[in-house]
Amino acid sequence: MRLTGLENEMDIELLGTTRRPVVITKCPALWDARKGAAKKVSDLLLKMGIVAVTCRGVPLDRLPVIISNGCDVLPTDSPIFADFMDKAIEYGGAAQVVQIFDIDQLKRTFTEVSAHIDSNKIQKLKETYKSWEKSGDREKIWFSMLQFEDQRRTTSHEVAYGWFIPGNPWDALIALAIFVETDQQRDYALGLLGSWIDPSGASHAEAIPSCQADETGALLIESSVEPFKGALSAVEPTRIGTRWRRF
C-alpha cells in the first residue's frame, strides 16, 4: 500500500509480507515534516491495533542488527531509551529506523526500594541490576540496569525513557517505521528487508481494508482491529533526590 501526494511530498508505504509490519516513509528530514510524518505513521499503526508508545529511533544502518536480533542492542537485555514516536524521530538522522515495542514486554531500567528490606532481597537485586546507589538520607536504594559510570543513572532522563527487554526481543518488537529522504535510501532499506519476508506470505495490509487521504492530508482508515495490548501503562516513578552516594 502506498499513499502519495500528501503535504511535504510525503510518501508512505506499508510492507505487507515482512515478519513484522514495516512502514516506510519518504519525506524531508526537516523537523516539521518528520514530525508530521511520525503522526501519520502512528495513526496508521493505531488502525492496525498497534499503539506506538515505546519507540526507539536509531540510524538506518542499524537495521541489519534489528532484523537479526529483534532490537538494535547487544546483548538484547541492554538498556534502551524509548518514548512516543515524535520523540523517537529525534534520533537516527535523515535515514532512520524506529522500533516500536510492546510496553508489556519491557521493564524499566530502574527500581527503588527501602534500604531496610531483607538483605537476601537486596543481594538478589544486586545480581539482577548493574549498579546501585543509596539516597542521601540512606533510606532508599536505587538499582539500575545502567552501569555505575553512566551519568544518566538516577536522573530524570532514566526515569522518563529508560527501559530494557528482559525476555525474548521478538516478543517485544511489534513493528518498524523507517523514515528516509531519498529513493536511494528507500531502496537500501528494501534491500536489507529482502531477507525478512515472511515465508508464510501473511499480509499485514489485510488489517487496514481501506486507506486514503482527505483534503488536509490526514489518513482516513477504517478498521475494526482492537488496540494492541501494548498500550501505555501509567508510570509514576518516585522523584529522585539530588544527592546520592554509591556503596
**Which of the pair, 228 or 41, is modelled with greater confidence?**
41
Assign residue 42 a region (left: φ > 0; alpha: ψ between -120 and 50; beta: otherwise): alpha
Q: How far apart, in whole angstroms, are the C-alpha atoms of residue 73 and residue 91?
A: 15
Tens of pLDDT along 99-131?
A: 999 999 999 999 999 999 999 999 999 999 999
Q: How far apart, in whole angstroms, are the C-alpha atoms of residue 142 and residue 25?
A: 40
Residue 228 has pLDDT above 90, yes or no: no
C-alpha cell at 177: 517505521
Which pTM was predicted? 0.80
Mean pLDDT confidence for 230-237: 33
Mean pLDDT confidence for 146-165: 97
Domain boundaries, the chain: 2-103+166-222, 107-164
Tens of pLDDT along 23-42?
A: 999 999 999 999 999 999 99
Q: Give the whole-number percent of the chain exceeding pLDDT 70.
A: 76
Residue 142 has pLDDT above 60, yes or no: yes
Going 169 to 100 to 60 to 202, the CA torsion angle's sign is: positive
So what's the pLDDT on residue 206?
55
Tens of pLDDT along 38-81?
A: 999 999 999 999 999 999 999 999 999 999 999 999 999 999 99
Residue 222 has pLDDT above 50, yes or no: no
| Half-sphere exposure in the Cβ direction for 176 (13 Å, CA) | 29
129 closest CA partner among 162, 83, 157: 162
Question: What's the mean per-residue pLDDT of the chain?
Answer: 83
Residue 134 has pLDDT above 60, yes or no: yes
